[in-house]
């Protein structure tokens, strides 16, 4: 991976942190202290062979840079704030990337991500977590699948070993839309090398589970 990716992450500059579907997205989210429980009803079936027929993932950065990336993604500023994760993890406005003409999520997507952040804060310290439920209905092309992808990658990145389940209206939609969208955003994320992509799931890469 080129150095500009590490530069964008602020890994070569400790001060450069730079943090700012189907018809329904349903979730139950609760948080207390250092733990957060989130369950997204999402079930993935299959991805094109080219997405998962690749060598085993290995670290992209130096040990110190990997530790810096972990520290940032696992700190409350990003771990408990999905909007901050989305703004930090993807190359918004970076020339030569698919996002070079975009500054960040759309207004409605930011509102959903901010609502999740507020809910996590409200649950902080609670033993009996309150449940977060949300549904959105719209036409095509407004970014529902992108939002599902961000939430999935945020959850898996900030809570290694957690489980995220995804569903859609049909198996065809899961294969051609949802799974393709998740793997597209994973490929653009700073920590894509943290995960192995199989036909039906994303798993933490072997190197990160052995730390």
> How much is the pLDDT for 51?
43
Percent of the chain having pLDDT more than 90?
41
Q: What is the pLDDT of residues 13-40, one digit of tens each?
A: 333 333 223 323 333 333 333 333 333 4
Report the mean per-residue pLDDT for the chain. 77
> How much is the pLDDT for 25?
30
Phi, psi dihedrals of residue 2, rounded to the nearest 5°: -70, 160
Q: Which of 119, 5, 14, 124 is nearest to 68 (CA)?
A: 14
Locate all alpha helices (DSSP H) within 161-204, ordered by sequence: 171-173, 179-188
Question: What does the alpha-carbon distance between residue 29 and residue 38 come to, in Å, rounded to a whole number?
Answer: 4
Half-sphere exposure of 49 (CA within 13 A, CB side): 0
Range in 4-8, 56-60, 109-113, 116-120 with the lowest mean pLDDT: 4-8
Q: What is the pLDDT of residues 84-103, one digit of tens each?
A: 999 999 999 999 999 999 99
Q: Which two structure tokens, joined as six digits, stand for 134?
A: 């949300």
> How much is the pLDDT for 17?
30
Are 24 and 135 contacting, i.e. CB atoms less than 8 angstroms apart? yes
Q: How confident is the model at residue 187 (pLDDT cuts 50, 70, 90)?
A: very high
Range in 29-38, 55-64, 147-156 with the lowest mean pLDDT: 29-38
Whether the pTM exceeds 0.85: the reply is no
- Average pLDDT, integer, range 100-121: 95
Q: How confident is the model at residue 10 (pLDDT cuts 50, 70, 90)?
A: low
């Amino acid at each position: 991976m080129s150095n500009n990716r590490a530069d964008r992450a602020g890994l070569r500059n400790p001060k450069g942190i730079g943090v700012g579907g189907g018809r329904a997205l349903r979730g139950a989210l609760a948080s207390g202290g250092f733990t957060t429980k989130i369950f997204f009803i999402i079930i993935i079936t299959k991805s094109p062979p080219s997405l998962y027929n690749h060598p085993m993932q290995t670290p992209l950065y130096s040990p110190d840079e990997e530790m810096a990336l972990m520290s940032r993604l696992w700190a409350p500023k990003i771990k408990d704030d999905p909007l901050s994760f989305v703004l930090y993890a993807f190359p918004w406005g970076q020339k030569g990337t698919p996002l070079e003409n975009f500054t960040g999520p759309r207004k409605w997507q930011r509102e959903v991500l901010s609502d999740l952040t507020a809910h996590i804060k409200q649950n902080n310290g609670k033993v009996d977590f309150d449940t977060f439920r949300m549904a959105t209905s719209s036409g095509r092309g407004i970014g529902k699948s992108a939002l599902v992808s961000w939430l999935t990658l945020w959850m898996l990145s900030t809570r290694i070993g957690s489980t995220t389940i995804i569903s859609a209206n049909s198996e065809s939609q899961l294969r051609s839309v949802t799974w393709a969208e998740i793997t597209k955003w994973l490929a653009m994320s700073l920590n894509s090398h943290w995960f192995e992509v199989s036909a039906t799931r994303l798993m933490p890469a072997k190197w990160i589970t052995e730390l």
